[in-house]
Amino acid sequence: MKTQALDTLKQQFSDYAATFIDPGVDDGPHVLKRNHTLRVCREIVDIGEALGLSGPDLILAQAIALLHDIGRFEQFKRYNTFLDAVSANHAALGVEVIEALRLLDPLTPEERELIIDAVRFHNAADLPGDRDKRTLFFMGLIRDADKLDIWQVVIDHYLNHGKKTDKFIELGLEDRGGYSPEAFQALFQRRFVRSAAVKQLNDFKLMQISWVFDLNFTPTIDRVKDRHYIEKIASTMPQCPDLSTALDHVFNHMDTHTHDTYTLC
């Protein structure tokens, strides 16, 4: 993929996002998602360069990051929520938007297919087992870059005790002060906490902590450790023995996960 094609996509994304944002508004859900997208573009370059990506492959990674959440704008407009379970799968919506606007028409068929696949599965519980090594690499890359920025967004929200205007970050979940056993059980088994186990706000935080088990590249894990994301989320939660045990599993996983899940060669 060439730089000129990426520059065109950047302008198309900016123009599209602007149709959802009122002039003069500097916060709110659509601004949040626009800014998130731009930061994920920076995160994917950072991880990609650490993995040795350059040239057309690094440009392709940025295109994926640019489009990965494009369905969020239409999702919030239609349903007034970012919660897929009560609205629509935002990744599938994103594919619909990309195809309706014909954003990828100038690219090669191979580039189009890879970008669509990466967008479609960036939020999936599991990646498809029938994709080639190259596609899986870029799928893993966007999932890691996405998580890095979401962690920062939610941490800023939790530590600032959440403004009324950004409560949508919590997806409408109640803060009951406790936890669901199913969420802890997943962490004890070093598994990703599934959405069905999320009954209250602290379960949502446990899910975010459990994303560590779904990271694909050692540079991503290094950044999670350097930025102390897990410790910061945990500091906003009620302390208990189960949380301590869960965190032990998380930190041990980060310390022992020393290989990349996907490679290009």
pLDDT in tens, 213-229: 999 999 999 999 999 99
Looking at the structure, do residues 32 and 119 belong to the same domain, yes or no? yes
- Among 144, 165, 199, the domain-final residue is 144
The residues of the chain scoring below 70 in pLDDT are: 25-27, 162-166
Give the residue carrying structure tokens 């659509």.
Answer: 30
Range of the domain at 46: 3-144
Total number of domains constituting the chain: 2
Give the residue ranges of DSSP H helices in the chain: 3-18, 29-50, 55-67, 71-79, 90-101, 109-120, 133-159, 181-188, 201-210, 218-227, 229-234, 241-256
Q: Which residues contact 187 (CB under 8 A, 6 or more apart)?
A: 193, 206, 209, 210, 246, 249, 250
At 14 the pLDDT is 97
Q: Are residues 202 and 128 in the same domain?
A: no
What is the Cα 206 distance to its own chain's centre?
16
